[in-house]
Chain A
Amino acid sequence: MAKIVIGIFSAYIGSMNADFAIKLAEAAVNKEHEVFLWLSGNGVTLVRKNQKEFKDYSYLEKKVEELIEKGVKIAACEACSEARGIHKEDLIDGVEFYSMDWFMAKVAEADRVLMIGES
């Protein structure tokens, strides 16, 4: 069993990176690895709650909830969120709110780290 950190820093809507990261995290937790999902930059938009489901858009709120139930730790960067008007009370239940040093600590103790996203 390994400690795997997956980070997403690209926007939720308009790129398939969030979808990819969610499926990879699910595959990893299903293999009983310890998985941390870190959202920064525009990636924080993934964990805003009350998302409306539209046919042609990725809809991942339920998936995020499922991963939390499976034991995946999901955290959003506090500064990146607040800068985008996303406050702790706006997050999907179970998503945590940390500053960068929490993420650095997780990276330091991780077996593998993958940062997903592009500018």
Chain B
Amino acid sequence: MRLGIFISNYRCKKETLERIKNAELGIFLVQNGVYHAVTESEILKMQAEFFVLKEDLLTRGLSEDKVKENIKIVEYGDLVDLMLKYEKLLWM
């Protein structure tokens, strides 16, 4: 099953995500979750496709070149398309 997870804060821990079994993960970093994209976050070691919302990066004064390589920078329209690519959606 493809599971899309919106991470909206920086408190989210890798241990929480590791409890999710048998799912192909897409992780969407939004709101304060974007800080995972520009720091050495444990979450980025997960087996997943990573996306970060450009608007929430820029709102926080974070530049796109600081985003880790394995993370794709997206806009709201892309998020809608991703919602349809992943079968189930979760908000954390």
The total of Cβ contacts below 8 Å across the A-B interface reads 44
**Binary contact track B64-77/A, C-beta < 8 Å → 1, others 0:** 00000000000111
Cα–Cα, bound, A112→B83 (Å): 7
Distance in Å: Cβ of A44 to nearest Cβ of chain B:
18
Q: Give the nearest-CB partner of B30 in chain A.
A: A20
Instruction: For the complex, give the distance between the alpha carbons of A115 and B91 in Å.
Output: 7
Find out whether the CB atom of A16 lies under 8 angstroms from the CB atom of B31: yes
Asked if B80 contacts A31 (CB within 8 A), the reply is yes
Considering only CB atoms and an 8 Å cut-off, how many residues of chain B contact the other chain? 16
Interface residue tally for chain A (C-beta within 8 Å): 21
Contacts of B31 in A (CB 8 A): 16-17, 20
Asked if B89 is an interface residue, CB under 8 A from chain A, the answer is: yes
CA–CA, A115 and B55, complex, Å: 21
CB of B77 within 8 A of CB of A31, answer: yes
Q: How far is the CB of A115 from the nearest CB of chain B, in Å? A: 6
B residues adjacent to A (C-beta < 8 A): 6, 8-9, 30-31, 55, 75-77, 79-81, 83-84, 89, 91
The 9 closest A-B pairs by CB, nearest first: A27-B76, A114-B89, A28-B80, A27-B77, A27-B80, A112-B83, A116-B91, A23-B76, A16-B31
Binding site for B on A (CB under 8 A): 2, 4, 16-17, 20, 23-24, 26-28, 30-31, 33, 111-118
